Chain A
Amino acid sequence: MAYVYLDHNATTPLDPRVREAMLPFLDQSFGNASSLHRAGRLARNAIDGARAEVAALCGAEPGQVVFTSGGTEADNLALHGVMDGVMGEAGAAPGRILVSAVEHSAVLEPARRLARRGHPLELLPVDGECRLDLAALDAALFAVQSRGPVRLVSVMLANNETGVVQDIPRVAERVRAAGALLHVDAVQATGKLPLDLAALGCHLLSLSAHKMGGPKGAGALVVDRAIALEPLLAGGGQEHGLRGGTEPTPQLVGFGVAAVLARAELPERTARLLALRTRLEAALAGIAGGVAIAAAAGRLPNTVQFALPGFDGAALVMALDRKGFAVATGSACHSGKPSHVLAAMGLPVAVAQGAIRISLGLTNTAADVDAFAAALTEVAANRPGANWT
């Protein structure tokens, strides 16, 4: 049997339709979009089109889309863009930052950096199913005014490890009532969930192309018009002065086409992935001693996190790789380290250490899922230290 890739939350292959759209911009329409001549205008038009498509994917206006090099840069731009602006004014007071404890490190790390620069940072807890504790959010926003006003809240739409989807509209209601700004990292949800800026109610939204069949190295921050952001990358004045650098036309065109396809095919994709996920979960339920993580929460249609307590997740990934299946321990970025997400959920250490993430994609089949479940069952039968239970 051919090697089966089940790690689509790490990255997805380029959709062939996306690739075909990108190729002419590599060597034919290759102009610099900032050039005023015809070659430049061709590139500019293509980028404008992509901007409109990405905006349409999340119910935004094209003018609200700031293209970046990916989700990480979008998250960094959101946090630094808001908070550096605050600190830029002489004598400005630091603002508190609230961030969920299960955020991607692209949010957590800039938040910690801002904390080192004097902005108090508080991590918001989640329950055992990875769902944000709204009472804790209320308490942080309203009950402890003595600590000063909250400036920015960042909560992800879908968690990259567990796939759990947060109730962003209810978060937004509270954040707005407190007069703070809400950033939502929708990188893992891009192309997998319907996105609507107004319905979500956030001020800033991070997107990524490569999680939905688009190219790696392209992302966007969607920005509420009312917000004055400080750029992360100075120079050249591109992206309304919010992000300098020559626009990578093929990459952005690819992002745009991936957005069109995701929007058009979302119901069909969701149904297919959900059917595969259900099949996978049913098969995994037969593995003795296995733990389905966050199974009761609303999740992305493609994500399953499953633990074999007593096993080492990294060793499981390698064993499954040898059997011809690509899965992950948690986030690809953190291969090897214990997951901060599972720790925040309060899972027993043995569960967190034995967890793997299976993320399905559009090229996966029912046969892939069955073969994987069989392989994992086999691996599970050879529990290390057989006297563990």
Chain B
Amino acid sequence: MDHRTEPERFVYLDYAATTPVDPEVAQAMCGCMTAEGVWANPASTHGPGRAARELVETARAQVARAVNAQPDWVVWTSGATESNNLALKGFMRAHRKRGKHLITVKTEHKAVLDAAKWLERDGCEVTYLVPGADGRVDPAQVAAALRDDTVVVAVMLVNNEIGTVQPVAEIAALAHARGALVHVDAVQALGKTPVDMVALGADSLAVSAHKCYGPKGIGALVVRRAPGVVLEAQVHGGGQERGMRSGTLPTHQIVGFGAAAEKAIALLPTERARIAELRALLETRLGAIPGASINCPAAHGVPHILSVSFEGVHGEALVADLAELAISTGSACSAATPEPSYVLRALGRDDLTAAATLRISMGRGTSRDDVEFAATRIVAAVARLRALAPAA
């Protein structure tokens, strides 16, 4: 435990790291968590097994609908990290004859970048594109990088640290014209911005339940069923998910994901508008701090993620000063590493600026009052730290 006294008020503004399970979602899950409920192994052929299978298939349709896919495109996984691994390794392995070239972006999530690194050790060639200062990849960069032996172009729909929305549809059209497959990490997009897999032109799409008020530990890789879209499975065994991913299906988790996806899509228009207003307020308040810079302007990003860097402030000291706010400097996955965000460094920020960055991410539980409170605290903390140690 902290030896400091814990502050009274605690405002959670880290919805990009994870979200609470929605009460209705939790209720749906609980229906699979009691002996009276539906809890059997969906692979069993007896009555209880068939009942579980039915719920799994309902959830499959719910998740498919949320991204405009067909139900039989959905492959359940343990989460987005597994989905991204399955897509990258699975496509590269299955298309060895075509080539060994993968194109991705320096600002992708670690799940994609670490899988790409693994593939490099496995003999693949990876081109890492460097986006512009606002995080956006220019489709022309992709066009220039595409080769005849390019198997996959992997690009995320929404960046998890700064919120940039990539021009995925344009990139996909270019990739397809050269015969390459397109994988899209849509983890931060689901429920935050419309995700239409067909319109995007994605051959595979990684999604996760816990970023949209569903349970942690369940995700999906949605894979278009079409000639040439072939994937080699990465987890082998009982042959569940048409052999694409073995392992007993966690009924309660899947049911939770289905319910969460459905609700997130239903709430999307109103929530998006509400959060956009909060973001505008926050951006105005924080943008007014001298030496503050917004890392991705609202026009190019999703409303719920606001990333701000402060000149002349020590990043760690800033976060320590804001103990009443649950916010992060970058992604939660990289939180344990002391290095400044690789995303911001890839965008050309120097180490000090990258370290002095806050990612504030809003969600269903965020009120106007929360945002005012956070803004006031951040303004005060920056001023206090600058007064203590004036920038050289």
Alpha-carbon separation in the docked complex, A344 to B246 (Å): 23
Say yes or no for B323: interface residue by CB 8 A criterion.
Answer: yes
B14 touches A35 (CB 8 A): yes
Alpha-carbon separation in the docked complex, A16 to B18 (Å): 26
What 0/1 readout, one digit per residue, does chain B (203-240) give for beta carbons within 8 Å of chain A? 00000101000011110000000000000001111111
B333 touches A238 (CB 8 A): yes
Say yes or no for B85: interface residue by CB 8 A criterion.
Answer: yes
Task: State how many angstroms separate the Cβ of B140 from the closest Cβ of chain A.
Answer: 28
Say yes or no for A332: interface residue by CB 8 A criterion.
Answer: yes
List the one stretch of B109-117, B300-308, B345-353, B374-382 in contact with chain A.
B109-117
A14 touches B39 (CB 8 A): yes
Alpha-carbon separation in the docked complex, A320 to B247 (Å): 26
User: Which residues of the partner chain B approach A249 to less than 8 Å between Cβ atoms?
Assistant: 216
Say yes or no for A377: interface residue by CB 8 A criterion.
Answer: no
A236 touches B248 (CB 8 A): no
What 0/1 readout, one digit per residue, does chain A (87-113) give for beta carbons within 8 Å of chain B? 010000000000000001111011011
Chain B interface, number of residues (Cβ within 8 angstroms): 78
Query: Per a CB cutoff under 8 Å, which of A19, A27, A76, A333 touches B43?
Result: A333
User: Which residues of the partner chain B approach A331 to less than 8 Å between Cβ atoms?
Assistant: 238
Known pairs A235-B113, A246-B333; A73 contacts B39 (CB<8 A): no
B237 touches A109 (CB 8 A): yes
Known pairs A218-B217, A245-B82; A27 contacts B26 (CB<8 A): yes
Residue of A nearest to B23 (CB): A27
Known pairs A35-B328, A326-B40; A250 contacts B33 (CB<8 A): no
B333 touches A333 (CB 8 A): no
User: Which residues of the partner chain A approach B49 to less than 8 Å between Cβ atoms?
Assistant: 7, 10, 326, 332
Interface residues of B in 66-110 (CB under 8 A from A): 77-82, 84-85, 109-110
User: Which residues of the partner chain B approach A19 to less than 8 Å between Cβ atoms?
Assistant: 30, 33-34
Known pairs A32-B18, A326-B47; A69 contacts B78 (CB<8 A): yes
What 0/1 readout, one digit per residue, does chain B (318-360) give for beta carbons within 8 Å of chain A? 0100010111100011111100000000000000000000000
User: Which residues of the partner chain A approach B333 to less than 8 Å between Cβ atoms?
Assistant: 34, 235-238, 244, 246
B335 touches A314 (CB 8 A): no
Say yes or no for A349: interface residue by CB 8 A criterion.
Answer: no
User: Which residues of the partner chain A approach B79 to less than 8 Å between Cβ atoms?
Assistant: 69, 245-246, 248
User: Which residues of the partner chain A approach B373 to less than 8 Å between Cβ atoms?
Assistant: none
Task: State how many angstroms separate the Cβ of A333 from the closest Cβ of chain B.
Answer: 3
Chain B at the A interface: SS class: loop
Query: Per a CB cutoff under 8 Å, which of B23, B81, B328 touches A37?
Result: B328
Residue of A nearest to B89 (CB): A234
Say yes or no for A201: interface residue by CB 8 A criterion.
Answer: no
User: Which residues of the partner chain B approach A13 to less than 8 Å between Cβ atoms?
Assistant: 34-35, 39
Alpha-carbon separation in the docked complex, A289 to B250 (Å): 38
What 0/1 readout, one digit per residue, does chain A (221-256) give for beta carbons within 8 Å of chain B? 000000000001111111000001111111100000
B332 touches A333 (CB 8 A): no
Task: State how many angstroms separate the Cβ of B56 from the closest Cβ of chain A.
Answer: 11
Interface residues of B in 1-35 (CB under 8 A from A): 6, 10, 12, 14, 17-23, 26, 29-30, 33-35
A321 touches B47 (CB 8 A): yes
Residue of A nearest to B234 (CB): A232
A11 touches B41 (CB 8 A): yes
Query: Per a CB cutoff under 8 Å, which of B18, B19, B110, B236 touches A236?
Result: B110
Task: State how many angstroms separate the Cβ of B52 from the closest Cβ of chain A.
Answer: 9
Quick one: which of B30, B41, B333 has the most chain A CB within 10 A?
A: B41
Say yes or no for B252: interface residue by CB 8 A criterion.
Answer: yes
User: Which residues of the partner chain A approach B80 to less than 8 Å between Cβ atoms?
Assistant: 245
B332 touches A40 (CB 8 A): yes
Residue of B nearest to A114 (CB): B236
Closest 3 CB pairs of A and B: A333-B238, A248-B217, A217-B250
Residues of B within 8 A of A (CB): 6, 10, 12, 14, 17-23, 26, 29-30, 33-35, 39-41, 43-49, 77-82, 84-85, 109-115, 117-118, 121, 208, 210, 215-218, 234-240, 246-253, 319, 323, 325-328, 332-337
CB<8 Å pairs between A and B, sample of 22 = A7-B46, A27-B20, A34-B17, A70-B250, A71-B247, A105-B246, A106-B237, A112-B236, A234-B115, A237-B110, A237-B333, A244-B111, A245-B78, A246-B79, A246-B81, A249-B216, A250-B215, A327-B46, A328-B45, A333-B240, A333-B248, A335-B45
